[in-house]
Structure 1
């Protein structure tokens, strides 16, 4: 495998060591990309795949599913990948977005299953074009050289997931308790403040007129993660923004976000993104 191939996400050997990567895989019969993707252990993040032309087929053990134009598929972390162009189709063109989700997206990523744990979604014809165009906008934005391309692409992806939820029957929609929304807004507004873990939960409890234990339980029930875990995600998102847009040192960013230990901050950042703060900044400016 050459270095050039390793840097091409459409070919085997590419390291998806990033927060969001997107592209188009144009598979023509007998072409350079006409092979089956085979990742027995899947990937660290999610992949959403949109078929735009031709047909693809995904296999899981003795079952298979044919993806046609307009079909969205979602592969969760660690789910085996074995898919390619359907044998009797001359082509399979599909757009894809690989990402590591924000904590609040947890329930939005639970789609009806096809084979294995691969999710499936096909919007009604009336909404199909709108969602397809939004998905293509995510890919376009992710590939741009804009300073804020990753942040913008993540925001568009969140919009896509929300719009998908809105197409589901009202009976199936998940509704967030207004007190949980208040808690999320409070954390977002105070992500730069050096609030201790216990104190921030007490502040939120007072804000929503619930006990600390009750709001903690309600938050986990609605969002799928704890208050402190969600807060950590917002701190890391802010750290990424500061790494991309300011000359602040790693130590200064850690202090700005309330971390007293720079090395602990770096461990948290790497655990969430797969990269150290230094490596993240280096890759951003290199690209």
Structure 2
């Protein structure tokens, strides 16, 4: 990355301030040199409750997750999902590692933008494609840092809006993924269901959307996805509920309604069937005990 000194990141360093990871957004800059006070291993065997975006500015870092170790170089953006075990530090063969980061609990509708089309629950990676993209991303980080530190009216809301722009820009920069062969009518139904998980939609209404009979739609859906429409939607609802339990403190009843279940007890029984834990137990797995200087 070129000219990281274009922004005054230093005043956002752990050397200059303390951080609390109980907020919905915390951002900072970590300059590390050999033997400095910040030159230490960050070890999170249970991950974090929220997400972390981490951008290397200069030097080299080592990141390990699920037994796999990788280097991060200038221009590498890392996304740490909730609960992903990881640890990282300055690489042994580099005398520095400067990185800027933001820890956050996303707005619920951001979740689909945070998978980065990469399988598994480990750390995701985006290599910024060139100087212009790097400058845009750095500017968005600076905007987040400036707003989050301002302490003024609506500062957190402004920082969250800047973070949303950063997340969307990362989505735009992701390499194009091959699209699995799927009947476009089934793809359209899946998209519609995902966008309306809280709604009760009848098979007949879905069939009308793609100009099929209900029986033909049901047959084609099972042929394409090896499951029924209702089972597929149920799995998507549980998946969305898991994300909401990880990233928010919304009441269980509210999350149940957000994914289409008015009856909290029914939702809890259904959730346990899929996850082998109650919603409350699942949320407790992501309770964090984070030291002040942990990022």
Distance 2:178 2:104 in 1: 25
Return the structure number with greater helix share: 1
> Which of 47, 54, 71 is the aligned partner of 2:76?
71
Q: Distance in 2 between matches of 1:93 and 1:79?
A: 22
Aligned residues of 2:60 and 2:94 also touching (Cα < 8 A): yes
Q: Does 1:136 align with 2:151?
A: no
Kindly indicate whether residue 37 of structure 2 is the aligned counterpart of residue 32 of structure 1: yes
Task: Classify 1:74/1:182 alpha carbon distance in 2 versus 1 (closer, same or farther; 3 Å).
Answer: closer
- The equivalences for 1:154-169 within 5 A come to 154-169=160-175
Alpha-carbon offset, residue 56 of structure 1: 0.8
Q: Which whole-Å CA distance do the structure 2 matches of 1:61 and 1:170 have between them?
A: 26
The 5 A counterparts of 1:193-212 are: 201=199
Contact 1:40/1:80, CA 8 A, preserved across alignment = yes
Contact 2:13 2:31 in 1 (8 A): no
Superposed displacement of residue 224, structure 1: 6.1
Match of 1:119 among 104, 120, 124: 124
User: In structure 1, how many angstroms separate the alpha carbons of the residues matched to 2:28 and 2:194?
Assistant: 33
Higher RCO (CA < 8 A, seq sep 6+): 2
**After superposition, what is the alpha-carbon deviation per residue over 1:57-97, rounded to whole angstroms, capped at 9, x for unaligned?**
11236431111111101111122231111112111111110
Q: TM-score, with normalisation over the residues of structure 1?
A: 0.57
Q: Is it true that 1:43 corresponds to 2:58 in the alignment?
A: no
1:225 alignment partner in structure 2: 240
Structure 1 residues 144 and 224: alpha-carbon distance in aligned structure 2, compared to 1, 3 A threshold = farther
Structure 2 residue runs of 5 or longer lacking an equivalent are 1-11, 180-186, 208-228, 252-279, 288-295
- Preserved contact between residue 66 and residue 85 of structure 2 (Cα < 8 Å): no
Give 3-state SS (helix, strand or coil) of 2:89's partner. Answer: strand
Give the superposition deviation at 1:107.
2.1
Q: Is the 8 A contact 2:65 2:123 kept in 1?
A: no
Provide the residue aligned with 1:20 in structure 2: 25
CA RMSD of aligned residues (A): 4.6
Q: Which residue of 2 aligns with 1:285?
A: none
Give unmatched runs, 5+ long, in structure 1. Answer: 1-7, 185-199, 237-267, 275-287
Query: Relative to 1, partners in 2 of residues 1:101 and 1:116: Cα closer, same or farther, differing over 3 Å?
Result: closer
For residues 136 and 123 of structure 2, the distance between their equivalents in structure 1, rounded to whole angstroms, comes to: 23
TM-score, normalised by the number of residues in structure 2: 0.56
